[in-house]
Amino acid sequence: MYFLARTYPLARRETLVTRPEARIRSTGGAQLTVRQPHPIEVRSYEILRSRVDLSPMPPLWRAVAERVIHATADLEYAVDLLTREEHLTRGWAALRGGAPIVTDEGMVAAGISARETVCHAADPAAARMARAAGITRSAAAVRLSYSEVGPGAVWVVGSAPEAIFEIIERRVSPALVVGMPVGFVGAREAKEALRASGLPQLSNVSEKGGSAVAAAAVNALLYYEAGRP
């Protein structure tokens, strides 16, 4: 499913970097991420909204698209992301309920600023399993992670296409899979397979993606407050 975004002529390029402050508050069993955006982030959003109109998008989809664009300064993500609002709603609700977040690599985990994550990519046990089973280390990390978290987790892939294929094969019953590996080898095919799997997912059409993009998408869901633009 696509939503059309209206773009405006680009003004001069501005480099904007921010490290937002965030903390977790538990309210009635739900985990809410409370944060005060940095003034530079506020200005970044003003600039991107002057260049691309994402108002036709449903609210969660728009929140994800804007944060990805904010993180990358790449307006093409306005039309590159593919998901369904109900998939994002499911992931958002799971995160509010404290669902674990599993990442395919440490760089994705490092980019998720408001929640601890599960990542077995660097686990020696993953290397041993990969050798014994004749699978990639990324696939082994998925198996180890699933044995730890079980169904209902939010899975985030920013680097390894093999992790997406293993998530599909393992039938991990995710709340949401954020699948945005980057590269010319296997990334597009993995994302296509994810969309065809029937799993609740957020992905993108092109070979673009990466750790920062995947982390930004998850942060958008963590930061989202219903009813706020």
Active site residues: 70
Q: Which residues of 115-124 are buried (b: 16+ CB within 10 A; e: fewer)?
A: bebbbbbeee
Distance CA 196, CA 91 (A): 18
Distance CA 211, CA 107 (A): 6
Q: Which residues of 36-74 are buried (b: 16+ CB within 10 A; e: fewer)?
A: eeeeebeebbebbeebbebeebebbbbbbbbbbbbbbee
- The number of beta carbons lying within 10 Å of the beta carbon of residue 150 is 11
- How far, CA to CA in Å, does 223 sit from each of 56, 160, 203? 20, 25, 19
